Amino acid sequence: MPKMSCFLGLYVCLLFIGLVASSKFEELFQPSWAMDHFVHEGDLLKLKLDNFSGAGFGSKSKYMFGKVTVQLKLVEGDSAGTVTAFYMSSEGPNHNEFDFEFLGNTSGEPYSVQTNVYVNGVGNREQRLNLWFDPSKDFHTYSIFWNQRQVVFLVDETPIRVHTNLEHKGIPFPKDQAMGVYSSIWNADDWATQGGRVKTDWSHAPFVATYKNFEINACECPVAVTSTNNAKNCSSSEDKKYWWDEPMMSELTLHQSHQLIWVRANHMVYDYCADTARFPVIPAECVRHHH
């Protein structure tokens, strides 16, 4: 169906074909585990973590190319040891995956978000930054945009990471597997806060992450269709035009590039590309591009 698509704060909106899914949780998603840790309050969905269980949900469909968005208010107060994740993933050992992982903190410390990209089952592409606001005090918008040229992670429409297609350099790019959309909250005090030095204080449980305004504007892929056909069906042709394939979506605008530079310069605290202890040889995708 037609969709007025405005991407990444662009001022020009153009009419292209896209798939627009409802913002109602129950139409897009279903609980994956611990249904008794879900709380519905009007338009809000709350996921609880206690010393019995966390909770998670996944999309009913899988998608290839487009944009997925959620508004999220993270765990308030002392959230050390907890992780709230919002991510996309395909299935199998050679899966592709795009991760937002929000790492809990001790009260008063900045909340950090870790992103990661898996391609054909290989990850180890972590970047971590401290957010420039307190994400536990109000809702903020977190999005993943994906087409054949790039994967873009956005916070309140500000790009915080771009993973560029460098197939012409022999580097695989995640463009051939349909992906589900997922979110969860769980205890990860073996690594989440200060490298695992700060453990979860269960006296502060339950830890609650609150969601609203789910949106999936992407190409829905039938389960029975092969990946080759999915890629073809979700790409523009003479017969159909998808908004994510338009030339303006192939790279960041100048303004967005400046935003990304600002984020990296002022808020990034870890970049796998600069970790020579882990990677004595710089990963190939890091040589010429910021990822």
Pull the structure tokens for residue 170. 């022999």
Residue entry with tokens 């202890």: 277
What does each C-alpha distance from 148 to 90, 151, 152, 188 come to in angstroms?
Answer: 16, 8, 11, 33
Question: Could you give the CA distance from residue 267 to residue 160 in angstroms, rounded to a whole number?
Answer: 9
CA 45 to chain centre: 18
Question: Could you give the CA distance from residue 197 to residue 192 in angstroms, rounded to a whole number?
Answer: 9
Are the C-beta atoms of 47 and 209 separated by less than 8 Å? yes
Task: Count other C-beta atoms under 10 Å from residue 42's C-beta.
Answer: 6
Q: Catalytic residue numbers?
A: 97, 101
Question: Could you give the CA distance from residue 278 to residue 136 in angstroms, rounded to a whole number?
Answer: 32
Helix (H, G, I), strand (E, B) or coil at 2: strand
What's the length of the chain? Answer: 291
Question: Could you give the CA distance from residue 269 to residue 264 in angstroms, rounded to a whole number?
Answer: 9
Are the C-beta atoms of 58 and 187 separated by less than 8 Å? no
